[in-house]
Homo-oligomer: A and B are copies of this chain.
Amino acid sequence: MALIVQKYGGTSVGDIKRIENVAEMVQAAHDAGNQIVVVVSAMSGETNRLIDLAKQISEQPEPREYDVLVSTGEQVTIALLSMALNRRGCPARSYTGSQVHILTDSAHTKARILDIDESRIREDLKKGRVVVVAGFQGRDEHGNITTLGRGGSDTTAVALAAALKADECQIYTDVDGVYTTDPRVVSNARRLDRITFEEMLEMASLGSKVLQIRSVEFAGKYNVPLRVLSSFEPGGGTLITYEDENMEQPVISGIAFNRDEAKLTILGVPDQPGVAFNILGPIGQANIEVDMIIQNVAQDATTDFTFTVHRNDYEKARTVLEKTAKELGAREVKGDKSIVKISVVGVGMRSHAGVASTMFEALARENINIQMISTSEIKISVVVDEKYLELGVRTLHDAFKLEQASAA
């Protein structure tokens, strides 16, 4: 008998028929002899409907009241799912975040979970009941209703799994797992049976948006085995776990890409200590997040400095940078919005040499010019002209033989 936390998102509970479908899946897992805790989001569209009501009153509604408002979305779903389970003869009880004491800080609309008192849930599980918990919400120490911010239901599920020491936390979505890359770009992209937390973090932050990054971090921190699977199609999904030493590790797990970035370069900056801070300080103050940062060795007492930002922030960042360039006596500012970042990700590259050369060789063979390179322990990212996105991803997918299971 396993203790499993299942999480179903807004699309999976989007209407009564889908709620019945979820009830069927929950009942099957329960009837198979497992203890089941279910976390659900608001029915798709409901949160937007509520936000729209608030916006009619105020462009910036009181955060405390905003949380009271939007938290009703999940409360509706837990009640309906519990009704559906009970009607099927599967005993179930619903709880709001407050009721199961999901204690958070008081940062309304983006609260963080501090503690969970799981005793009430355990009592129900012992009595053979399925426990249905509202995702995305909790209460602060004063009893005020808080929300974890949009998509926070994944975090609720992982936090509950950690508190209950669950055997597995299953995240049901509209995709059936994590792929070696986007199947819309590479038709023979393969679903991974397993992936490590670290790889998943790199994949997620690089554009394969299957799971909320925070929930993966959380799962990694508390070592909660996380499984991504589809609520519409059968299948084992992808298990996200710690690296297992006995696990035969492929060198590369997947190819991620991101087409939302833009590149900015400041040329001929007098090279002196603090130059990076002088350039990026004003960018940070303007609330612009920077992704890749590259500074080459100085030539002739000047240096070139390149970084990428989200494409939406490009104009703003360029204005800030041009002001900085004048102040620092730099020669020129250049920018490019037609770029794409492609990354190969894999914990296996730690112990395998030659990943970088395989990557660069494959891209060179297709005459794809590399504009920037950045590396971390388990990934290598390159920036190329956006017109090479599909060709680049396919080339790398082939070069690392990702269409084959357990590529060594």
Check A76/B98 contact, CB under 8 A, given A82-B62, A82-B65, A83-B61.
no
Of listed A71, A96, A98, residue having the most chain B CB within 10 A: A96
Q: A150 near B: Cβ within 8 Å?
A: no
Q: Mark A50-79, 1 if CB is under 8 A from B, else 0.
A: 100110111001101110110110011011
For residue A62, which residues in chain B have a CB less than 8 angstroms away from its CB?
82-83, 86-87
Contacting pair B64 A93 (CB below 8 A)? yes
Cα distance, A14 to B75, chains bound together (Å): 21
Contacting pair A68 B79 (CB below 8 A)? yes
Cα distance, A338 to B331, chains bound together (Å): 99
Of the candidates B19, B50, B57, B65, the one whose C-beta lies within 8 Å of that of A19 is B57
Determine how close the nearest CB of chain B comes to the CB of A161; give it in whole angstroms: 23
Copies in the complex: 2
Cα distance, A96 to B98, chains bound together (Å): 11
For residue A71, which residues in chain B have a CB less than 8 angstroms away from its CB?
75
For residue A66, which residues in chain B have a CB less than 8 angstroms away from its CB?
79, 83
Q: A20 near B: Cβ within 8 Å?
A: yes
For residue A53, which residues in chain B have a CB less than 8 angstroms away from its CB?
16, 76, 80
Cα distance, A80 to B65, chains bound together (Å): 7
For residue A65, which residues in chain B have a CB less than 8 angstroms away from its CB?
79-80, 82-83, 86, 94
Cα distance, A242 to B185, chains bound together (Å): 78
Q: A99 near B: Cβ within 8 Å?
A: yes
Q: A143 near B: Cβ within 8 Å?
A: yes
Q: Mark A34-55, 1 if CB is under 8 A from B, else 0.
A: 0000000000000000100110
